[in-house]
Amino acid sequence: WDEGVAFYTGSEEGKDGSGSGALLYSLADKRCANFKTCGPEGDSVSGTSNINIKIFSEFAAGQMNLNLGNCDAARVNKDRISELMGVPLVQGVYRYAHKIDNLGDSSEKSKAEGAVFAAAILPRLHACSPGAAATVYENMKVGATSTSLPAVKSAFEANYACMGIWCGVVGELFDDDMGVFYADIPFCSDSVFSEPNRLAGYLPDTNVLDHSVIDGDQLAIESALSTGDFGLAKSIYEDGGYSKSYAQITVSPALSKGLPKGTPITGLSGNNRAVFGTALES
């Protein structure tokens, strides 16, 4: 576990992480300045990357779990670290796709950097959607005849939930000279898979919104009982009310093969916003 921290961070970052290294820790700090995702809240263009803050929280939790012999819990920490490590790579792809497509930068350097960032994250995207990975590859590969930032961005965003990341943690390209986000890049919006608000001051590292609103169920049950509506109270207790959210959909035409439980599902809501979830049953 300690070796993993060492390989991620390196020695040049110093004891407090304020140095300037050459590994993934340093990359995360560089990219957060481009996307205004630095600092504890992920809303600054300077300081430690919010990704590094989250990853080192997982490193610390994993170390504790290993010392306690909680290997299964440590594996969860490891998987979360792996997911978060992908964020600076996605940001790198966006940065250079923007340079090439929007800013007209046709230099060999920008094209090469874009291709390298894409190559680093493509296997993970391919595991979620081979089609999305093919789109990014065709736009970012060495020798690509054209690069479309909207196509690349849409391919990734449709698979954020599967990749374990979300719009807020990736951020949007920020024009530091002008002090504004680039107006020619559509903002990502994920209404479901997003970082939740603080819970009594605690900032969760995962999406526990559905868990936290269980108090809404409790209040609804109390309200139903106060009016003698025992049937409603029982229904909320058994099926959920504010928590345990789900959606039933009709697929037409029918699927050509079965859909396993846990399969990531993406789509558009009634107000045309992206929604993410998983199949609750096969």
pLDDT in tens, 56-102: 999 999 999 999 999 999 999 999 999 999 999 999 999 999 999 99
Which of 4-13, 213-222, 236-245 has the highest mean predicted lDDT (pLDDT)?
4-13
Local confidence band at 118 (pLDDT 50, 70, 90 cut-offs): very high
- Give the separation between CA 239 and CA 245, rounded to whole angstroms: 9
Backbone angles phi, psi at 181, to 5 degrees: -75, 150
Tell me: the pLDDT tens digits for 33-63? 999 999 998 999 999 999 999 999 999 999 9
Tell which residue, 139, 154, 157, has the closest CA to residue 101: 139
141: how many CB neighbours lie within 10 A of its CB? 16
Chain-wide mean pLDDT for the chain? 88
Of residues 269 and 107, which shows the higher confidence score?
107
Q: What DSSP letter does each residue of 168-236 carry, written as one string?
A: HHH---EETTTTEE-TTSPPP-BSSSSPPPPBTTB--SS--HHHHTHHHHHHHHHHHHHTT-HHHHHHH
